[in-house]
C-alpha cells in the first residue's frame, strides 16, 4: 500500500494534471507521505486527497502540494524559502529536497514536535523550525526568495509581503472558506503583482501560538 508502484501511480496522476518540473516530481516520488499521517491512514497516503492530521488540521492533497511548489519554482529555484504552517511537515520535506534552506513556522506545538521527529528520521538538515505566529513571519532571516503559506488568510499579511525579496514569489490560498483562490504574488522593483492560479479549499490561517 506504500509501495514504489503506488507512488509511481501518484506521479503519473500529477503529470496528467500538469505537474512537469522534473526535480519536483522526483521529490514527490522519493518522499514517503505515509510517515506524515496516522498509521491508520497510511494505506491512503498516496491517494490524491487531503487527510486529517489532528488538531483540526489536514495534510494537503499531493496535487495541491505539487501545484503550490511548482508555482514557487517557476522562474528559477529559490535559495531560501519561508513556509507558514509546518503542519505534519510533508510540504516542508518536499521543499527541503529542492531548495537550500527552509524556514518553517507552526503555531501548534504538538504538530511541530511530530514534524521535527520526521525531519530527523529523513535526515533533512536544511529545515529550521519555529513555534510561533505565522502572521508575523520570521523577519530575522528575511528577505526570502520565496514564501509559501499552507493555510488561508482572508488577505495576505503585509508583514509577509515585506519579508519577500525583490523578484521572489509568495504563493498562498486566500479568502474565506468556500471562496478561496490560490494566488501568486511577485515582488517587483515598483511593488507587487498578483495572479490567480486555482480555486482551492484550505483550513483558515490562525494567529497566535498554541
- Give the residue numbers annotated as catalytic, written as ranges: 60
Neighbours of 100 (CB within 10 A): 12
Query: Would you tell me the crossing angle of helices 4-16 and 22-30 to the nearest 10 degrees?
Result: 150
CB neighbour class for 166 (10 Å; exposed up to 12, middle 13-18, buried from 19)? exposed
Q: How many helices (H) and strands (E) does the chain have?
A: 6, 9
For cell 514557487, what's the residue? 72
Query: Cα–Cα distance between 141 and 92 in angstroms, integer?
Result: 17
* Gyration radius (Cα) of the chain, Å: 16
Helices 62-73 and 4-16 cross at an angle (nearest 10°) of 60
Query: Alpha carbon 142 to chain centroid distance?
Result: 18
Alpha helices by DSSP H, the chain: 4-16, 22-30, 62-73, 90-96, 109-121, 158-162
Amino acid at each position: 500500500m506504500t509501495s514504489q508502484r503506488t507512488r509511481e501511480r501518484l506521479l503519473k496522476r500529477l503529470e496528467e494534471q500538469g505537474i512537469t518540473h522534473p526535480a519536483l516530481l522526483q521529490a514527490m516520488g522519493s518522499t514517503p507521505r505515509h510517515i506524515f499521517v496516522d498509521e491508520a491512514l497510511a494505506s491512503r497516503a498516496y491517494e490524491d486527497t487531503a487527510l486529517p492530521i489532528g488538531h483540526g488540521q489536514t495534510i494537503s492533497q499531493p496535487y495541491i502540494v505539487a501545484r503550490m511548489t511548482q508555482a514557487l519554482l517557476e522562474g528559477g529555484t529559490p535559495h531560501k524559502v519561508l513556509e507558514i504552517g509546518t503542519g505534519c511537515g510533508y510540504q516542508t520535506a518536499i521543499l527541503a529536497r529542492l531548495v537550500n534552506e527552509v524556514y518553517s513556522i507552526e503555531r501548534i506545538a504538538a504538530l511541530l514536535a511530530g514534524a521535527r521527529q520526521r525531519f530527523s528520521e529523513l535526515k533533512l538538515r536544511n529545515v529550521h523550525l519555529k513555534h510561533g505566529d505565522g502572521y508575523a513571519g520570521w523577519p530575522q532571516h528575511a528577505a526570502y526568495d520565496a514564501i509559501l503559506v499552507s493555510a488561508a488568510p482572508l488577505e495576505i499579511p503585509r508583514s509577509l509581503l515585506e519579508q519577500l525579496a525583490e523578484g521572489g514569489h509568495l504563493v498562498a490560498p486566500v479568502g474565506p472558506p468556500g471562496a478561496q483562490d490560490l494566488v501568486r504574488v511577485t515582488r517587483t522593483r515598483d511593488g507587487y503583482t498578483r495572479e490567480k492560479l486555482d480555486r482551492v479549499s484550505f483550513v483558515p490561517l490562525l494567529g497566535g501560538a498554541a
